Amino acid sequence: MCSADVRAQYEAYPYPERKPTDERKRLVTGSPSLPVEMDHWLWGGARDWSQPLRVLVAGGGTGDALIQLAQLLTDAGRPYDITYLDLSQASRQIAEKRAKVRKLDGITFVTGSLLDAASYGPFDYIDCCGVLHHLPDPQAGFDALAAALAPNGGMGIMVYAPHGRSGVYALQNAFGRLFEGLEPRQRLKRAKAVYKALPDAHPFKRNVRVVDHEQGDAGFYDLLLHSQDRPFSITELSNALERAGLELAGTPEPMLYDPTPLVGDCGAMPMLERMQLAEDLRGTFKTHVVYARHAGGGLAPPMGAPDAVPHLRGVDAEMLAAHVAKMGNIAIDTAGSAFSFDVTPDAATVLRRVDGRACLAEIGAGVEAFDDVWAQVEAALCGAGMMHYSRILL
């Protein structure tokens, strides 16, 4: 599945670099694999969370996705059974220690290849972040995960994207030639010395969006010394999913894949072409984070449905409502882009009622033209990944 160099890298420099004792003071969170976000994109915001969620974290590394999922499901009082799978013993040890610090149960740790995922399944949900682009045959990885997915299951996937990683692959190629045959610690020491001598005009040094090399030895090595790394455009990612019998179900920030703010009306352009156009025009995507499911088997998010239950992410309802009441808009800055959505004053009223338990019928009670008001809120917040639908707390 992986070369000796890749295996040696992750034994020497488990990635991402984590200290288990830090679990006492913070929880690392992010997309994919936030339960509410998963429900929104994969199960129409209506999963029955009283039923245990069987999860595979494929290529779990030092445990970010594992810990996030287990802790958030524990906090919500929802049952789960998580299998962690990774080739690196060193990475697994860190993930196990992090889970122990948090006293998380319901986790099985396995050292092995994700190509064998189906032998541990089937799974309701599979997380695979930062792994498929490191396989010698990425399609074999997509196929193996699809084979491990339950009929109504879904995946959260992250792969690298080309444009936002400008300069990375030139340095990977150069360092690969310079330091071939050296053990990881020698490679790192010599690469850091060469890096300091690079001209400031080098495309990588001018790329302000890539910072992993500044976040410890593991980050530098994974970014610039990786021996097996290929990026995917959104079209290439969609095609790989299709060949595995899967389809895109959604992205955490769909408005970033909409070229309309940049070029105006795109007419009847197919969705994937629109997404590729946005990627090419923005030029800032370092990664693609997507949700996927078996082709033809998904449920759309329940936009505007009376029984749908919205949750806000990363924003306080009262503070957002106060801003809306004062400014008459919802302003969002994300991934180097700024968006502003005009909303009516009643938007402040309904936002104050969003608590993860009230459904839209309750939120809209007594609000004139609620459907129109809520459509404005949805366009801004769902498009930015700041609101999702789920009944996980009910």
**CATH number for position 97:** 3.40.50.150
Name every residue whose Cβ is closer than 8 Å to that of residue 191 and which is 6 or more positions away in sequence. Answer: 175, 178, 179, 220, 224, 225
Alpha helices for 252-355 (secondary structure H): 260-263, 271-282, 317-327, 346-351
In a domain, 156, yes or no: yes
How many distinct structural domains can be found in the chain?
A: 3
Say if residue 35 is in the same domain as residue 154. yes
The gap from C-alpha 320 to its chain's centroid, in whole angstroms, comes to 24
Helix (H, G, I), strand (E, B) or coil at 132: helix
**Residue 293 and residue 247 in contact, taking contact as beta carbons nearer than 8 Å:** yes
Say if residue 17 is in the same domain as residue 117. yes
CA separation, residue 336 to residues 114, 209, 283, 285 (Å): 34, 9, 10, 10
> Would you state the structure tokens that stand for residue 112, as one six-digit string?
């092995």
pLDDT at 387: 97
Say if residue 155 is in the same domain as residue 168. no
pLDDT at 1: 40
In a domain, 106, yes or no: yes
Say if residue 142 is in the same domain as residue 276. yes
**Residue 146 and residue 56 in contact, taking contact as beta carbons nearer than 8 Å:** no
Cα 113 from Cα 79, distance rounded (Å)? 26
Cα 266 from Cα 277, distance rounded (Å)? 10
Provide the b/e sequence for 44-73 (b: ≥16 CB within 10 Å): bbbbebeeebbbbbbbbbbbbbbbbbbbbb
Cα 16 from Cα 145, distance rounded (Å)? 22
**DSSP3 helix / strand / coil % (the chain, rounded to 5):** 45, 20, 40
Provide the b/e sequence for 275-294 (b: ≥16 CB within 10 Å): bbbbbeebebbbbbbbbbbb
Task: Write down how long the chain is.
Answer: 394
Which segments in the chain show pLDDT lower than 50?
1
In the block, tokens 């064998």 appear at: 116
Say if residue 153 is in the same domain as residue 9. yes
Last residue of a domain, one of 173, 189, 224: 224
In a domain, 137, yes or no: yes
Cα 87 from Cα 10, distance rounded (Å)? 9
Say if residue 268 is in the same domain as residue 357. no
Please report the DSSP string for 162-224 in residue order: SGGGTTHHHHHHHHHHHTTT--HHHHHHHHHHHHHHS-TTSTTTT-TT--GGGS-HHHHHHHH
Say if residue 290 is in the same domain as residue 358. no
Say if residue 220 is in the same domain as residue 237. no
**Residue 115 and residue 148 in contact, taking contact as beta carbons nearer than 8 Å:** no
Helix (H, G, I), strand (E, B) or coil at 303: coil
Cα 272 from Cα 391, distance rounded (Å)? 30
In a domain, 348, yes or no: yes
Say if residue 195 is in the same domain as residue 238. no
Say if residue 38 is in the same domain as residue 133. yes
Contacts 24+ apart (CB under 8 A), 176-185: 176/225, 176/227, 179/225, 183/8, 183/12, 184/8, 184/9, 184/12, 184/13, 184/221, 184/225, 185/12
Say if residue 168 is in the same domain as residue 151. no
Cα 268 from Cα 252, distance rounded (Å)? 24
- Closest to 53 measured CA to CA, from 130, 144, 122: 122
Instruction: Show the domain range for 344.
Output: 310-389
Say if residue 70 is in the same domain as residue 144. yes
Cα 230 from Cα 122, distance rounded (Å)? 28
Half-sphere exposure of 154 (CA within 13 A, CB side): 27
Cα 175 from Cα 186, distance rounded (Å)? 12
**Residue 69 and residue 55 in contact, taking contact as beta carbons nearer than 8 Å:** yes
The gap from C-alpha 184 to its chain's centroid, in whole angstroms, comes to 28
Last residue of a domain, one of 173, 201, 224: 224
In a domain, 15, yes or no: yes
The predicted model scores a pTM of 0.96
